[in-house]
Amino acid sequence: MGVIYLLLYLLGGLIVTVGSYHLLSDILDELTLWSAFQTIGFGAAIILGAGLLHALTIRRRGNAGVLEDVAEMSGKTMGMAAAAWLLPSVAAWVQFELFIEPVHMFPIITFFGGVALAFGVCSRLMTTWPMRRAAAAMGTALFGIPLGLLAVSLPLHHFNYHLTNVHVSTRDYSSRATKTQVFKADDPTFKSEMVSSLGKETSALLNAIANAKTIDVAQEVAAGRMRQLDDGSYVTVNADGSLNPVGGAGNLEHSMDEALAADRTVSAEAQAQKRREWEQEIWLRRNGGRLFSSPDRLDQADR
């Protein structure tokens, strides 16, 4: 039975952690929070079930030593747990502030520090509760596991988003050796878009060709709307008396080439503008996200 409720505690704590992570992301993205609360509630329900099973097991064992009070964690031990939870994250953030590449993190220390800190708080707050052992275990699973895991995952995601690699040191218990796992930064490669060469100018010309009508040149000349020049070419006569040449097949081909060239120029300028904006975004991501050395704070300090 002990293994079952222990696994349920771990499973519930992991689900609450996932829900809490999504809750923070949804708050930042201004999305609905209902799905995240559902996940957290499901994890909390599993922890509650594990706690009831734990309490039932304790009750069935009677006075076999398991009904003793949960030992209250001393202030010194809680301080050590808080330091184990907080200091590795602070050290990683200092590396990030100093633009050290890669940032080294120690998640195992952080995780167990968070779990121990939550257990210490529960042991102090629940000294008068019935079934104190089960209550303390439930509180540790509900708060300690998310506290330890989020203290690792949130900074790691933040560092990767700001294009900083992270090296995580873990212990290989089979070989008793320390190994390093690399979490690479987000890929900052610029992805150019396929842009059609048919732009505004070409579309307008094609539209004009599609809507062109057959005219009787002799009738237009007789009406004074067209005129034939000495070289045999024709021009249209505008209302103000100005003349516009009437192009042939060669002029149409030339107009199409000009329209395509103009559209390619506009497309190239738009693509170049997008690349400049992307380069600016990447520069801000690579140098931003810091409390004291972000570009905006440095600019304010210079002023």
pLDDT at 99 over 60: yes
Q: How far apart are CA 22 and CA 25, in angstroms?
A: 5
Sorting pLDDT into bands at 50, 70 and 90, what band is 303?
Answer: very low
Q: Are residues 162 and 238 in the same domain?
A: no
Evaluate whether residue 284 is within a structural domain: yes
In 3D space, the residue among 244, 92, 74, 83 whose CA is nearest the CA of residue 153 turns out to be: 92
Q: Are residues 177 and 209 both part of a single domain?
A: no
CA–CA gap between residue 251 and residue 139 (Å, rounded):
82
Range from 32-46, 160-174, 206-220, 225-239 carrying the lowest mean pLDDT: 206-220
Q: Is residue 80 in some structural domain?
A: yes
User: What's the confidence (pLDDT) of residue 299?
Assistant: 52
Mean pLDDT of 120-132: 82
| Same domain membership, residue 9 and residue 142 | yes
Gap between the Cα atoms of 111 and 75, Å rounded? 19
> What is the rounded average pLDDT of the residues 116-133?
84
Residues 112 and 144 in one domain: yes
Match 């409390």 to its residue by tokens: 291
Do 178 and 207 sit in the same domain of this protein?
no
* 211, 172: one domain: no
Residues 11 and 120 in one domain: yes
User: Among 190, 188, 203, 187, which residue's Cα sits nearest to residue 271?
Assistant: 190
Residue 82 located in a structural domain: yes
Residue 64 has what pLDDT? 47
**pLDDT of 262 higher than 90:** no
In the block, residue with structure tokens 């933040």: 158
pLDDT at residue 103 above 90? yes
**Is there a single domain that holds both residue 246 and residue 156?**
no
At 93 the pLDDT is 95
> Domain for residue 189, yes or no?
no
Give the residue among 180, 149, 183 at the shortest CA–CA distance from 166.
Answer: 183
Same domain, 165 and 205: no
pLDDT band at 32 (very low <50, low <70, confident <90, very high): confident
Domain boundary among 155, 183, 211: 183
Q: Which of 183, 209, 230 is the last residue of a domain?
A: 183
Q: Is 193 part of a structural domain of the chain? A: no
Residues 158 and 231 in one domain: no
Quick one: pLDDT at residue 66?
A: 46
pLDDT of 30: 81
What is the per-residue pLDDT for 302?
Answer: 46
Q: How far does CA 88 lie from the centroid of its chain? A: 23
Is 100 among the domain residues?
Answer: yes
Q: Are residues 42 and 161 in the same domain?
A: yes
How much of the chain exceeds pLDDT 90, in percent? 34
249 within domain boundaries: yes
Decide: 235 and 226 in contact? Cβ < 8 Å: yes
Number of domains in the chain: 2
The neighbour count for residue 207, using CB atoms within 10 Å, is: 10
Asked if 275 and 166 sit in the same domain, the reply is: no
Per-residue confidence (pLDDT) for residue 236, from 0 to 100: 76
Query: Can you give the residue range of the structural domain that contains 130?
Result: 2-183
